Structure 1
């Protein structure tokens, strides 16, 4: 299953429902799995059910899409008796339609068939995982992830149980969550680049509040009644723990803050300790995979991210790419020569033009046709020798 291609929900949903039928869990267990997988922290390392194949590596964005859909699906089946796949998809569309309508966004209507509804929901989920950063800025730095996406799941749960307009609930909960995060970040004695990135992370994840008070905040500004359900409280603690764990330790001031916020919201002390241990474990195990922990040189970060994206596209289109290349005799000869000698400028121009022509025939590789796409050609060239038959490489010097 390819989460970036049309029809992924229709293909994935039966698999996930089968997973649910053989893996009994309540909402607490579902949440803990999402936390272990990184979805709660805005960095999806894995998905709820490990469907990813070795042949098709999923990107972090794709894992986030699958985790969001799976969490919403679990919530529907957990709340609704005699649930069906068709009604589940319709309910998600209606939920997001209500949010969109009450925010003044374009109307979202149910489709005329189940297949149409699958496509509508795929589009909605794709839009939900886009941050509020301008497109160029987001693509360039790629440090902003979806830190508040689980808010959608909590709002959907509230919508299914109450039948009320989900927007007031989402607005109120988001406001209180972000205010607590800002309070947590203010506890740092020496603020560093990590704190600035986390502030940026949460600010860019805000969807429902145009203005939120961030100055002169105190714990008394947090509305206790807005965060009184177990999952809401656990989510708040986990976001606080994430905000405090930049230097891999909790100092005295931060410990006092965690104690005070737990007492303010009447959260058991054991739950506070569990949140701190969970974020410490996650960061220790996956630090290299968390973008905002490894952001130093934006140009290098952009190059590394682009390399991963391009390599994923190439591997997914391996068969078509090899077929197109082997049908171009001149290109094969020049690529073979390039493994044992430097090509002349004219030969490089021929290779570049023919590779771009090949990319035109494979829609997924349209990235190479965009303005500036030619700077990605060396990345494409790097992977071609490993894709072509072994005879192509017989003279290559390792």
Structure 2
């Protein structure tokens, strides 16, 4: 399954039909979604029964996890496995919430089927912003509050009225809890990446229009939905564990929040234990947990974008390259020596001609797209070895 290609939602439907018993109830679903990081907004893994076609990026994992969470929520709440009806219901759900933004890359997808429209719509939920260059300098790529969609879909399936107000309420409580969790820390970080990620992920409320004076506690005490309260507790635990430590003031805050939420001490301790284990397991792979200087951040992010584009269009690229012996020769030479200015111009001009014939590579001919060309030239001989067998020099593979 390739969540960056058209038809991936239909593909998931064919796969999930053979795995209907993966999550028999919402408890097991929530546990799985928390284990793979989706509840935390940090997608480290995907459902065990999904076999991807390639190494997945974080946004692709988020797409799969969101669809998987929505489907099994539908199966559990609606007591139905009708995938066609599920797709229709999800699309109606997002229409009610007026989630209909579509980014640049999604406009390249075509199709009138509901599943095709849903692919575009869900992609707009995954990305915080459409500008791919802005995202390069801000590694907070995916929406960190996507689990709220699952909670809302659960309400929708149970015929909740005024869904938009419910969405605002859940976001309001989530952002207040995380804000006060940060305030509980004795030594606050000046540049808190998690708080930036949460604030930029808000959909239903404007962060600037709300005060954080503690008045949210009254609304929290009146909230009786067990899964919303479990989510709020896990988000609080995530927030206080962002610096990989938990002091007594933070512990008091967590147990205070847990008490307000009506949760047993055993659940609170389990939530703290789980987030600790998640951090230790994934701290070297989750982007916002890694500190990098701007140059490294830029190169890594751009490299991932270019690598993804090359791999998604590998067959077409090999075909196009095979028609230009000079270009293949120059790209092969670039692996062992620096090209001259004249050679670089030839490579650039011939590559731009190829990009015009492959819609998915349109980014390279947009204003500013030229900054990606050096990365493309470096990666393409490594990622498409079949086109460079005769002259290719093997060295360290590009790593994420």
Q: Same fold (TM over 0.5)?
A: yes
Residue 204 of structure 1 deviates from its aligned partner by: 1.2
Is it true that 1:328 corresponds to 2:328 in the alignment?
no
Whether 2:284 is the aligned partner of 1:288: answer yes
Of 162, 177, 184, 1:180 maps to 177
Matches within 5 A, 1:121-160: 121-131=118-128, 137-143=134-140, 145-160=142-157
Please list, as runs of the form range in 1=range in 2, the aligned pairs for 1:172-251 lying within 5 A after superposition: 172-193=169-190, 196-210=192-206, 213-217=210-214, 220-226=217-223, 228-251=224-247
Matches within 5 A, 1:294-313: 294-313=290-309
On the 8 A contact 2:36/2:45 being kept in 1, the answer is yes
Q: Does 1:254 align with 2:250?
A: yes
3-state secondary structure, aligned to 2:284: helix
Shift of 1:193: 4.1
CA distance change for structure 1 residues 316 and 394 in 2, over 3 Å: closer, same or farther?
Answer: closer
Greater Cα shift, 259-268 or 386-395: 386-395
The 1:364/1:78 distance shift into structure 2, 3 A limit, reads: same
User: What SS does the corresponding residue of 2:181 show, helix, strand or coil?
Assistant: helix
CA drift at 1:76: 0.9
SS in 2 for 1:56: coil
Q: Which residue in the other structure is 1:29 paired with? A: 28
Q: Tell me how far 1:219 sits from its aligned partner.
A: 6.6
Matched, 1:347 2:346: no
CA distance in 1, matches of 2:28, 2:315: 40
Which deviates more, 76-85 or 146-155? 76-85
Say if 2:374 is the partner of 1:375: no
Shift of 1:52: 3.6
Asked if the contact 1:99–1:166 (Cα under 8 Å) also holds between the matched residues in 2, the reply is: yes
Looking at secondary structure, tell me which structure has more helix per residue: 1
Q: SS of the counterpart of 2:97? A: helix
Cα distance per residue 1:282-340 (max 9 Å; x no partner)? 11111122222124423421221110121122123223222221211222333344444
SS in 2 for 1:207: coil
Cα shift readout 1:241-273 (whole Å, capped 9, x = no counterpart): 110012322101001111111112221111111
Aligned to 1:75: 73
Structure 1 residue 216 displacement after superposition: 2.3
Q: What stretches of structure 1 of length at least 5 have no aligned partner? A: 107-113
Q: CA RMSD in A?
A: 2.5
State the partner residue of 2:104.
none
User: Aligned pair in 2 of structure 1 residues 324, 241: CA closer, same or farther (>3 Å)?
Assistant: same
Q: Which moved more, 1:135-144 or 1:377-386?
A: 135-144
Matches within 5 A, 1:29-48: 29-48=28-47
Check the 8 A contact 2:87/2:115 in 1, yes or no. Answer: yes
With structure 1 as the length reference, what TM-score do the two structures score? 0.88
Q: Which residue of 2 aligns with 1:364?
A: 360
User: Take 2:265 and 2:394, find their aligned partners in 1: how far apart are those partners?
Assistant: 62
Does the 8 A contact of 2:73 with 2:154 survive in 1? yes
Structure 2 stretches lacking a partner, 5+ long:
102-110
Shift of 1:147: 2.0
Distance across 2 between alignment mates of 1:296 and 1:327: 40
After TM superposition, the runs of 4+ consecutive aligned structure 1 residues lying more than 4 A away are 132-136, 394-398
Worse-superposed segment, 144-153 or 273-282: 144-153
Out of 375-384 and 349-358, give the one that drifted further.
375-384
- Taking the aligned partners of 1:363 and 1:307, their CA distance within structure 2 comes to 19
**CA separation in 2, counterparts of 1:81 and 1:51?**
22
